[in-house]
Amino acid sequence: MAGTIPTHYTADRLWTTQGWTRDAGVQIDDGGHVTGLQPGRGERLGHWVLPGMPNLHSHAFQRAMAGLAERKGKSDDSFWTWRETMYAFAAAIGPEELKAVAAQLYVEMLKSGYTQVCEFHYLHHQPDGTPYAQPETMSLALIEAAREAGIALTLLPVLYMTGGFDGRPLVPRQRRFGHDVPSYLRLLDALRAHENERLRVGVALHSLRAVPEAAMRDVLAAEARTHRPIHIHIAEQIGEVQDCLATRGARPVEWLLDHAQVDARWTLVHATHLSDEEAAALARSGAVAGLCPTTEANLGDGLFPLADYIDAHGVLGIGSDSHISVSPVEELRWLEYGQRLSTRHRNIAARQQGDSVGEMLWAASLRGGALAAGMPVGELRAGARADLLVLDDRAPVLAARDERSVIDSFLFAGNVPLVRDVMVGGEWVVRDFVHRDEERIAARYRSTVERLAQG
Ligand code: NGQ
Ligand code: ZN
Q: What is the tens place of the pLDDT at every residue in 262-272?
A: 999 999 999 99
The residues placing their C-beta within 5 Å of ligand 2, an ion, are 321
Handedness of CA 374, 320, 155, 159 (dihedral sign): positive
Residues of the chain under the 50 pLDDT cut? 1-2
Residue 322 beta carbon below 6 angstroms from any ligand 1 atom: yes
Residue 295 beta carbon below 6 angstroms from any ligand 1 atom: yes
Active-site choice (33, 59, 121, 270): 270
What is the DSSP code (8-state) at residue 197?
A: T
Residue closest via CA to ligand 1's atom 3 equals: 206
Which atom of ligand 1 has the smallest separation from the CA of 292?
Answer: 11
Residue 97 beta carbon below 6 angstroms from any ligand 1 atom: no
> Which amino acid is located at 46 in the chain?
G
Residue 223: how many CB atoms within 10 A of its CB? 17
Residue 58 beta carbon below 6 angstroms from any ligand 1 atom: no
Distance (Å) from CA 410 to ligand 1 centroid: 30
Strand (E) positions, 184-310?
199-201, 203-205, 230-234, 266-270, 288-291
Cβ 34 vs Cβ 27: under 8 Å? yes
Residue 57 beta carbon below 6 angstroms from any ligand 1 atom: no
pLDDT of residue 12: 97
Given ligand 1 and candidates 85, 211, 233, 324, which is best to mutate, with the most ligand atoms within 8 Å of its CB? Answer: 233
Distance (Å) from CA 236 to ligand 2 centroid: 9
pLDDT of residue 1: 46
**Alpha carbon of 319 to those of 18, 98, 250, 357, 446: distances in Å?**
25, 19, 27, 18, 24
Residue closest via CA to ligand 1's atom 4 equals: 59
Which atom of ligand 1 has the smallest separation from the CA of 237?
Answer: 9
Distance (Å) from CA 138 to ligand 2 centroid: 17
**Alpha carbon of 396 to those of 87, 410, 413: distances in Å?**
43, 11, 11
308 is catalytic: no
Phi-psi label, residue 266: left if phi above 0, alpha if psi -120 to 50, beta otherwise: beta
pLDDT of residue 3: 53
pLDDT of residue 271: 98
Distance (Å) from CA 42 to ligand 2 centroid: 42
Q: Whole-structure pTM over 0.95, yes or no?
A: yes
Residue 115 beta carbon below 6 angstroms from any ligand 1 atom: no
**Alpha carbon of 2 to those of 34, 36, 37, 150, 388: distances in Å?**
12, 13, 17, 24, 22
Q: Which CATH superfamily is domain 53-373 in?
A: Metal-dependent hydrolases (3.20.20.140)
273 is catalytic: no
Residue 321 beta carbon below 6 angstroms from any ligand 1 atom: yes
Residue 179 beta carbon below 6 angstroms from any ligand 1 atom: no
Distance (Å) from CA 20 to ligand 1 centroid: 38
